[in-house]
Structure 1
Amino acid sequence: MSTQPAASPPIRTILVPTGFSDLSKHAARYARAIAPVFGASVIVVHAAELPPPAAETAAMIPATAPAPDMAALLESARNGVDVFVRENLEGVEVRTIVTVGSPDHEIVQAAVREGADLIVMGTHAQGVLKRLVFGSISKSVVESAPCPVLLVPLRG
């Protein structure tokens, strides 16, 4: 029986979700510090959410109303991701994914598709336990991710 710890799996791909918040920026800076240590590349993923129409206006919208301008939504999101990468991940090999959908679902799906070895994401410093117990994007990702998740509080 060996007393040596098992070798850790290599970290080659780090997924960094962003909603463009200070939390996301802080987590990206951690990923920027970690990536060179492992020779890892970074994938930034942003899931743009379509706002649901207010209940009182939903009944007034005809069924033939035009769909939201998806091209404009995606273009705006891509521009935001480009700025995010430029400001927070300088000097690191980065690819980006912009999608539309529920952030927690899209983050996990991107991690699966891209074979992520680690997800680095921000979380609120205050009430981390409360958020993990009562629900958050972080909680959902931790529960469903195919790889380890590093939660970075803003204060860290």
Structure 2
Amino acid sequence: MIQLSRILCPTDYSNASAKAVRYAVELAKRVDAHVRFLHIREKDGYASGTTADEASMPERFSQMLMSEIKNGLQADVKEAGGEPKEVIISQAEQWGADLIVMGSHGRSGLMRLMMGSVAEAVYRSASIPVLLIKQDAIDKTATE
């Protein structure tokens, strides 16, 4: 039987990771798992490619998380600095995560070649399952 008791959800406060956060929250509620949201600080404070509109995400994320915790979600937030792929893999192993849920910007071609893909690198390197949520995926968790 598959046991999901710890879900790691890396976030860079982008729209893609916001969608992954919603999936991680819903999944955790359904299987009664603990979610650890991991924010990786980069040199400028936000991940490369984060837009000005996404800069308000930390406040919205905090409000959403506090609301979910009040409703019984087992969750915590951890910040770490470093190269995103390495930090995600390391934190998953140290914490004993059963699953990584993370967003993917869905870049392809030259853009992916230039920017790289943290999601793809984590997927290829992780020793546990990785659920990738595409930024443009239909969001069935939305309550709008």
Whether TM exceeds 0.5 here: the answer is yes
Q: Which residue of 2 aligns with 1:38?
A: 31
Give the equivalent residue in structure 2 for 1:15: 8
Cα drift, residue 47 of structure 1: 1.3
For residues 12 and 126 of structure 1, the distance between their equivalents in structure 2, rounded to whole angstroms, comes to: 31
TM-score after normalising by structure 1: 0.67
- Choose which of 20, 24, 43 in structure 2 pairs with 1:27: 20
Shift of 1:116: 0.5
Q: Which runs of 5+ in 2 are unaligned?
A: 45-56, 138-144
Whole-Å Cα distance in 1 between the matches of residues 15 and 34 of structure 2? 22
Give CA deviations for 1:52-80 in whole Å, capped at 9, x if unaligned. xxxxxxxxxxxxxxxxxxxxxxxxxxxx7
Contact 1:81 1:96 in 2 (8 A): no
1:121 corresponds, among 102, 111, 118, to 102
Change (3 A) 1:10 1:122: same
Aligned partners of 1:100 and 1:39: how far apart in 2?
29
- Give the structure with higher Rg (CA): 1
Whether the aligned pair in 2 keeps the contact of 1:120 and 1:151 (CA below 8 Å) is yes
CA RMSD of aligned residues (A): 2.5
* Count, aligned residues: 119
User: How much identity, in percent, do the aligned residues show?
Assistant: 34
Alignment partners' CA distance in 2, 1:41 and 1:86: 18
The residue aligned with 2:61 is 84
Q: Which runs of 5+ in 1 are unaligned?
A: 1-6, 52-79
CA distance in 1, matches of 2:12, 2:128: 21
Please state how far the C-alpha of 1:81 moved relative to its aligned partner.
Answer: 5.4
